[in-house]
Structure 1
């Protein structure tokens, strides 16, 4: 990751020279320089004591070495009695001391740090495109676009109990929590304001997804307006591009295919990139080929196998910055890595499902239907279960000590704002708001951005457009779900630009064959990171958890796709602790049942 794609800084009252030196040392510990293309973990191997216990001056590089384009990368100043300093990307706004746009836009920041007299303001856009973290030490606020850059400030980083529990419920860490105690995340669509000597902290909402006053009922009117909004949204994303070739992630689904068609229609030179899973029964690759041929654009297929995934997991975990437990992360890391060889700007179709009530919204609709037949059921609980992770299995998953620690934690609180009925007038707006705030802003968007930035790519998502989003909240439910046809109105528009068999086909989703992979090449990773010895050392999970999963003893998680999903969830968490947090444990032992193949372990259990 180069210096234009991250920032880290401070604001507060302390010795200004000491603060500036410590800031530069954060960069040195993270092995980032103006000539570096990657961000390596600052705690690999683990450094005890944090940077505050070292002789600052003895390890600081001369500030002249942090130059790029003739300008000092270290910027510092003083407003009234408060000192500030920043290293990283240049400001996009006049009143900002730091800001960042994942898409590389000049006047449209995804995260920003502003100063107003005796006030520090940390802000994040509503779509959650890029994370923003902060840490308070005495009278100084440290902030960064990457959590790893703040880790060296802590003498002994400690895992957040709330974060681990939330991760096991959702496959992402719910904001404002982060995996590390004392470090917090700014929530999407909000600003955090620090006043005076940083003792006063105020949170304010910038924007909230909500139903519009007027509703569009006429289908022809909706089609006409949507065509205009889609073209305008794309134009805002390509207005700075000249004659350069751009890339597009093309799955062969409706959203990515529509973005590819809009790019071609706008006259851009386009190269498409698709993931090719040779081991799956139902491959999406032929659909991507159909779209590419129809649009007359080259298609680059990135083969995804258990071997290529295994090799890329460590780098992906570092690039993600914090744990994301969905299986698509490594395949997309490989796609971005390949795309970087050809292009610097890459488009995707993310957020289309959130805006137009696609398949990611089905869980909350299912919960609503269930509640209508079971009036005494709790809607939030039903929705929480639709994430299909480990909520409800606490007694089987966690150690007794960890169960006591999470006993008072209410996972419902992480969903409360997203499911607040005060903002919406109907079920479709309610579940689209929830999907935008939960699956979108806390999972899909930040993980995609982190992976793309790790490769030096500018990632652009035309569906992450506020004008377009506000317009979709005017649509009636009938225009989004027509009988059993989801995203109906978007398909009506797309049929003018794409083959009908692409537009109207049933969405299957990305079929990552995780369970099959774990039976083969990935079993060695399970043996190393999820053994009873490792889990017992950490004390959070039941030491026999992996064996329970393999033998089908974890409640409703029997053999099949769910087994692979849960093992992946746990594996990414454990590898993050090892590769990013720098926790070194003895992961090899001959007294480990996982030396046996998984098929044997299941057979042994049946014979018993």
Structure 2
């Protein structure tokens, strides 16, 4: 895994400032500590930080074609590069290395933009073609690898793996994006294509961008792939389970190519355990596995990881994280650059830290919940949809909207009496209902959170529009498939994959995600929805398929997630820090918040009246961003 950086003069061939490009590149040293490289020519500068995984002795970047008219800086792994190399050699291309990077320049020469259709893997790259005077940027289909970019006021285009590299450029405008702030306090992250700055965008997953010298305007990125959700030919359950195992095994196998120590994360959950089971069946040597234990038994699942490790005789490494391991709070602002409110970033950082002591590459089980319908919220959404379906929205909205408004909020009461949330959900359409279910702060609470001036600046914008835009182009209208699709476009790249990328790269660790192999994703998307969620059981087919490989108490226990005791921290050891950060002068000065409401949130939480841990964590992480 690596870090990439580039400067491209859109207007003319002005010289690129080498010292500035190197400074931008150096901010990403952690992504590639093995070596760095720079290429300069009039109007173009490409830079690279390398973490050596394949072809350790060569493969330095930026890397060229035979006559050095095409050059690339690239972050990722293309797993089918051996097959592509043979095909390109047969077409007359000459290779000087044995690494996957060189495939990109020759594939561009042979197929142009369509080269990305041939790549199987995770990638983000910038490629300069001198003959065509073209800069070509592309990002992998699921958004495993990041890519930020900006067009500066002086018509220079800059791009990088992380926002911090762009922030090293003195001409980058740093005005906050009001809509991105609204999105952040709804989702807990800033969804693509926005960033926290108005001047910076993220290249969305499965998109490419083609720039030419002399262009006056920045073109819009173009999509080259989407999750199809096209129904497969009729298949019975047993055949589907067998095919699923075969597809997963093959996706794992191609991700075990490396010339450095390789292992896997093992949380004890279904997804990581399934990946380890497949790895064990493919390797003659014990699989290296890594997991962390929590001192608090309410959050600890290490015994399940141990159970899988013992079954497959893995070389297992485990460390315990103290329940009060909040020393990383100040580190997160530097790590993520933008506000990022997923508190599981803390244990993710620790497990990456542990893994890097033993391996350079780790396979993970990320993507299983989105792909195979594992989240509990999918079950809740299905239940709400069954209630919505009999009545049209025009009738539901006024009727249940009024009931939701007047019915008292009763979080303390038995579930049967907590009807307010249900009434509110029934008054909404499907997308809006799902949005409220995944929001950290629902609409009425975000309205209270923001100052009157900031609400006016939003001009009526609501973060639900992110989901609405994706829903409008979704290839499915099935209630379950639709919300899976929405998560694959938002939560998966914006939260899950961002969290893992930054935490792993902070330790120069490459993480590979076989369950997000795009061929596997395409195949699973075509399965009947009731093979994914049946009778309240998420990942139904996956669990059935894994029964010969994993014990039932791994497959069918209640999912815990990678949680930390934030609520208890804010009432105990972090109580003073919470007040200092959420109610401090920095938050006053930024002018975005209603400070009286922030004070109410802190008071209600610290006195035990309400659990506001999620919104308070998002506020602390926003303060961490401001502090930079």
TM-score for both structures, normalised by structure 2: 0.79
Q: Does 1:283 align with 2:300?
A: yes
Q: Aligned partners of 1:523 and 1:38: how far apart in 2? A: 34
Q: Does 1:473 align with 2:525?
A: yes
Deviations 1:259-284 (A, max 9, x none): 11111111143232223222253632
Given candidates 119, 125, 144, the residue that maps to 1:129 is 144
Given candidates 5, 21, 42, the residue that maps to 2:2 is 5
Distance change in 2, residues 1:251/1:17 (3 Å)? same
Distance change in 2, residues 1:38/1:215 (3 Å)? closer
Conserved 8 A contact 2:37-2:62: no
Q: Does 1:353 align with 2:328?
A: no
TM-superposed CA distance for 1:460, in Å, is 0.8
Conserved 8 A contact 2:122-2:144: no
Report the secondary structure of 2:339's partner residue. Answer: coil
1:575 equivalent in structure 2: 624
Q: Does 1:112 align with 2:145?
A: no
2:437 equivalent in structure 1: 386
Given candidates 314, 330, 335, the residue that maps to 2:346 is 330
2:46 equivalent in structure 1: 85
Q: Does 1:321 align with 2:296?
A: no
1:297 equivalent in structure 2: 314
Deviations 1:404-441 (A, max 9, x none): 11133232321124323650153332222112111112
TM-superposed CA distance for 1:450, in Å, is 1.4
Q: How does 1:152-231 map to 2 (within 5 A)?
A: 152-154=168-170, 157-200=174-217, 201-231=219-249
TM-superposed CA distance for 1:111, in Å, is 0.7
1:563 equivalent in structure 2: 612
Q: How does 1:493-504 map to 2 (within 5 A)?
A: 493-504=545-556
Q: Which ranges of structure 2 fall in alignment gaps of 5 or more residues?
A: 51-60, 80-98, 102-120, 394-427
TM-score for both structures, normalised by structure 1: 0.81
Q: Aligned partners of 2:215 and 2:247: how far apart in 1? A: 42
Deviations 1:497-525 (A, max 9, x none): 11122122232323421110111222233
1:435 equivalent in structure 2: 487
Q: Aligned partners of 1:360 and 1:119: how far apart in 2? A: 46
TM-superposed CA distance for 1:329, in Å, is 0.2
Distance change in 2, residues 1:474/1:208 (3 Å)? same
Report the secondary structure of 2:176's partner residue. Answer: coil
TM-superposed CA distance for 1:565, in Å, is 1.6
Q: Does 1:535 align with 2:510?
A: no
Report the secondary structure of 2:159's partner residue. Answer: strand
Conserved 8 A contact 2:77-2:123: yes
Q: Number of aligned pairs?
A: 533
2:254 equivalent in structure 1: 236
Deviations 1:266-314 (A, max 9, x none): 11432322232222536322222222222222443333335422x1222
Conserved 8 A contact 1:24-1:87: no
TM-superposed CA distance for 1:206, in Å, is 1.0
Distance change in 2, residues 1:143/1:496 (3 Å)? same
Q: Does 1:444 align with 2:444?
A: no
Report the secondary structure of 2:141's partner residue. Answer: coil
Report the secondary structure of 1:382's partner residue. Answer: helix
Distance change in 2, residues 1:114/1:345 (3 Å)? same
2:18 equivalent in structure 1: 20
Q: In terms of mean alpha carbon deviation, does 150-159 or 440-449 score higher? A: 150-159
Deviations 1:220-247 (A, max 9, x none): 1101211110111011101x236x6433
Distance change in 2, residues 1:193/1:549 (3 Å)? same
Give me the CA root mean square deviation. 2.8
TM-superposed CA distance for 1:149, in Å, is 0.7
Deviations 1:526-555 (A, max 9, x none): 13311153322111111133321134399x
Report the secondary structure of 1:547's partner residue. Answer: helix
Q: Aligned partners of 1:103 and 1:400: how far apart in 2? A: 49
Conserved 8 A contact 1:74-1:88: no
2:464 equivalent in structure 1: 412
Conserved 8 A contact 1:317-1:572: yes
